[in-house]
Structure 1
């Protein structure tokens, strides 16, 4: 979905007139931390606007928005939460669009642990498996869908350790508190290569598509920087960054 005319107009004004440079407060799903940092840097260079980003699980961020947090743009890890923000009057109607489609990975900090991810899960030859809280983190929900699709829910549930966000889940595995975990592919991959440890990109058929939507929140309705950022996320430079982290667009 493209931005409505008035939003696009604000974006164009902010891109063409540095005098209008402003700051935008953004709530960002934890899986998108590294891409957002790259995009924010490019956006600031190109527009003069400043991005102030807070990262966390989609559910936690939504709760903060619902309780009056000063966020102006919301980049969620699903499409249902931004739609809910619209329906509940917290976001500008018609401003929502999909900025990325996520991918799930089974990852270990041990470079030799994961050769065949499905076989490893079936073997149960590990002590702890980290997932994000499926109630607040869409990647955690996807992990539970994978376990269910493989008929491994009962076998793996006793081994689970739960992070409040996909960022915390990654830290459980990186620190060795869990031998492996379900994380976002973007956290462990760049330009098609695993950046550390060992990983298995989970086949997309094993979980529902992770469509990640962005939406303009009411607090940003009159902020040219907020509109400009949403427009920028749909441009070629942002798309290249998003793709480099393993997302579909």
Structure 2
């Protein structure tokens, strides 16, 4: 029996060597522009991506519209764009700033009305029509943030645009909109479900999941940008976003496929 121990150790070493051999000979860093609503999930996905490939991520989170402007202006070194819509990747491909055939949908976003105050937001969103319940409603800039545009659609569908507009507080991104609400600078606002429904943590405050028939589908696409065309790491990230482990993380944050 004792004679078997060296053999077992050898087998373990061979197995470990085989695993290491599956990783790339040269690990690299991917420069990623990521929509603010997906910053949290991407941080979790990055752990699995690095473990599986050896590559690492350097993410920059912000509004998709701002990234578009930076990329088109030529001042952004990003290799991958993980957008909050599907139109921006299409426009980048058409303009020659992204690789044709690389675009795909990684998630369908869920818009919510959220307040850091428990009980303020009801399950039907009726608080929006109750003028005395809030003085400020935060949304992301609808010109550059798809979730902000969706928020305006909800107000229009509810017939509340004129009544609520004077109380709107416009943030640069959905991350800043969330910050306005969390800090109390706005009593409530429209954000992404992924920002308030973090896996393993209870939802704080009060929330209304906005029915999908009140706004257009938030189809979120990723695309390989021209600076990443020859990057194995950038291509590996896009492939990993389609993998089962990544999909589990994405679903856990409330996104749909």
TM over 0.5: yes
1:50 aligns to 2:56 (yes or no): yes
Q: How far 1:19 moved relative to its partner?
A: 1.0
Name the counterpart of 1:25. Answer: 31
The structure 2 residue matched to 1:116, chosen from 101, 104, 123, is 123
- Aligned residue pairs: how many? 236
**Gaps (5+ residues) in structure 1?**
1-14
Q: How far 1:150 moved relative to its partner?
A: 0.5
Contact 2:121 2:127 in 1 (8 A): yes
Q: How far 1:65 moved relative to its partner?
A: 1.2
**Gaps (5+ residues) in structure 2?**
1-20
Q: Deviations 1:10-34 (Å, cap 9, x if unpaired)?
A: xxxxx93431311110000000010
Structure 1: how far apart are the matches of 2:152 and 2:217?
A: 13
Structure 1: how far apart are the matches of 2:104 and 2:24?
A: 26
Contact 1:31 1:166 in 2 (8 A): yes
Contact 1:192 1:246 in 2 (8 A): no
Q: How far 1:213 moved relative to its partner?
A: 0.4
Q: CA RMSD in A?
A: 1.6
Aligned pairs for 1:4-83 within 5 A: 16-68=22-74, 69-83=76-90
The structure 1 residue matched to 2:166, chosen from 143, 152, 158, is 158
Q: Deviations 1:145-183 (Å, cap 9, x if unpaired)?
A: 000000100010011000010000000000000000000
TM-score, length of structure 2 as denominator length: 0.89
Structure 2: how far apart are the matches of 1:38 and 1:117?
A: 31
The structure 2 residue matched to 1:215, chosen from 217, 223, 235, is 223
Structure 2: how far apart are the matches of 1:191 and 1:200?
A: 18
Larger Rg: 2
Structure 2: how far apart are the matches of 1:19 and 1:134?
A: 44
Secondary structure, aligned partner of 1:59 = helix
Q: How far 1:194 moved relative to its partner?
A: 5.3
Name the counterpart of 2:93. Answer: 86
Q: CA, structure 1 residues 192+158, in 2 after alignment: closer, same or farther (shift >3 Å)?
A: farther
Secondary structure, aligned partner of 1:19 = coil
Structure 1: how far apart are the matches of 2:160 and 2:238?
A: 40
Higher relative contact order (CA 8 A, sep 6+): 1
Q: How far 1:193 moved relative to its partner?
A: 7.6
1:239 aligns to 2:247 (yes or no): yes
